[in-house]
Structure 1
């Protein structure tokens, strides 16, 4: 091998090896300090892509588990309320059965009817006040419109003299009262409602219109709590309330990669809860015949509530099962992400020891290579 002074090849080789060793040592120390095998895209591009995808799946599933938990909470709240309604309806059955017999005195019948009416009011109260996370569980339970039971009406149809039609509006706090005169017609009632809206007694948008079948429909109300309409006019007949809207409870349980509502959502329809929606709003125990009619309606209402509770229970079971599946998925995906992303501490410590030794030997080798080059100077002394 020739002796030269212009280039120290041995020194360059030692310096390059030492640089690589220090780079690997720095990478190893970073892995130990973060606990991660992949700290940048250059460490393992494919591995980083896989790890990030797994992390996204885990995040979506973790939130979907929370969604399922919230959905179960809402459904259990509804089921608890319906359980109380069932208890009330069972009491109503007892009252209707007792009132159906003819040996009940008028005083007793009045007491039975009063308690029956209070039960219906309590059913309405439960429907309106049962909330979860600030939202009504049974959606809109207060009717927004009322329709006369008598149809084939016209604007010129004459109303019963002395009859009273009353509209209370809880949004405005106003009460509208129309007392029919000897020549009052449906048109007069409609005009009076329009005037009450202009005066602010009734909410803006409230109207009295005739349907295609000729029934008088009063509503809708733009207020948040709806209106209440009653009339003793035999021409109009009792005013029937439109049932409130149902609540569709949709829980998203996707993992971020699955598509399609059938695979990512669980939907439960919670029917509106009120005496009207249960078909009890016109029932009373004022006579044995009325009590027997009410008994049949209450029995049907109990079956309706039982069916709703069955639907809710099935959805609770499905959400519970979905939550268990997602929990298992999160566990398995986390394990897979750990194997890709996390550093093997034992192996990393062994690498650090190796690079520390190589760094020491590299330093020594670089020092020796520089000293060897200086030995050439002795030849020219």
Structure 2
């Protein structure tokens, strides 16, 4: 083996080995400190792209769950109000049946009508003041209408659920001007109130069905988001068992490389002994 001074090949080899090992050690330390296997595109370009797409999907799924829950809250608010309206209508019907009995005179029927009118006004008050996020959802000339709830991640009709809200005030239910001044008028009022109760019941049934559908949609979205998050974790998160093993390996190699570099740097000194 030749003895040279200007070029210490062993030292260069040791330095290169240390440089490569230091990069591996730094990468292991970065993965352990960030909890991410992929921190830059250089770590895994394809994996980074897939993980980013999954992140977008997860965020959209989580927002869709919130959208569904907001829709459920809105419909539950409407359903609670219609329950009270039903109570008012049932009392109005009871009074109309009472007024249909000819044992009651004009004064008695006027007293009954006064209560019926007050109940009709309360029906309207409930309808007009039932709001969600500032929107009147049961009528009274405000913003009741068809509403669309985005419960999916795509921009098409398959990702939404539409709910048609209805006016529930006494005018819309045709019970705002009931007449119970005679037997026949009171009987006609009973028929009108029955129609109103049926309309409210049908609307409540629709709300209940939509709530159940939206609840199922929210549960499914949450499940998909959970599974997508698990898949993303497999791609981008640090495997701590593997990373700690890699860190220990590179630290040992670093210590050995440092020792070998020190010996390689001492090699030219042996040439001096030939000059003595």
What's the TM-score bracket when you normalise by the shorter of the two chains?
A: over 0.9
What is residue 146 of structure 2 aligned with on the other side?
248
SS in 1 for 2:110: helix
What is residue 99 of structure 1 aligned with on the other side?
99
* Larger relative contact order (Cα-Cα within 8 Å, sequence gap ≥ 6): 2
What is residue 323 of structure 1 aligned with on the other side?
218
Contact kept? 1:117, 1:284, Cα under 8 Å: no
What is residue 196 of structure 1 aligned with on the other side?
none
Q: Which moved more, 1:99-108 or 1:52-61?
A: 99-108
User: Aligned equivalents of 1:341 and 1:298: distance in 2?
Assistant: 63
SS in 2 for 1:267: strand
User: Aligned equivalents of 1:348 and 1:55: distance in 2?
Assistant: 23
What is residue 52 of structure 1 aligned with on the other side?
52
Q: In the TM superposition, what is the alpha-carbon distance from 1:245 to its structure 2 partner?
A: 6.2
Q: In the TM superposition, what is the alpha-carbon distance from 1:378 to its structure 2 partner?
A: 2.4
The answer to whether 1:282 aligns with 2:177 is yes
Q: CA RMSD in A?
A: 1.5
- Among 242, 263, 271, the residue aligned to 1:347: 242
Contact kept? 1:245, 1:271, Cα under 8 Å: no
- 5+ unaligned residues in a row in structure 1: which ranges? 143-243
The answer to whether 1:269 aligns with 2:168 is no
What is residue 140 of structure 2 aligned with on the other side?
141
The answer to whether 1:367 aligns with 2:262 is yes
Structure that is richer in strand per residue: 1
Aligned pairs, number:
276
Question: TM-score, normalized by length of structure 1?
Answer: 0.70
Q: In the TM superposition, what is the alpha-carbon distance from 1:297 to its structure 2 partner?
A: 0.8
SS in 2 for 1:67: helix
- 5+ unaligned residues in a row in structure 2: which ranges? none
Question: What per-residue deviation string (whole Å, max 9, x for no partner) do you get for residues 202-260 of structure 1?
Answer: xxxxxxxxxxxxxxxxxxxxxxxxxxxxxxxxxxxxxxxxxx763323211122xx331
Question: TM-score, normalized by length of structure 2?
Answer: 0.95
What is residue 116 of structure 1 aligned with on the other side?
116
User: Aligned equivalents of 2:151 and 2:36: distance in 1?
Assistant: 30
Structure that is richer in helix per residue: 2
What is residue 6 of structure 1 aligned with on the other side?
6
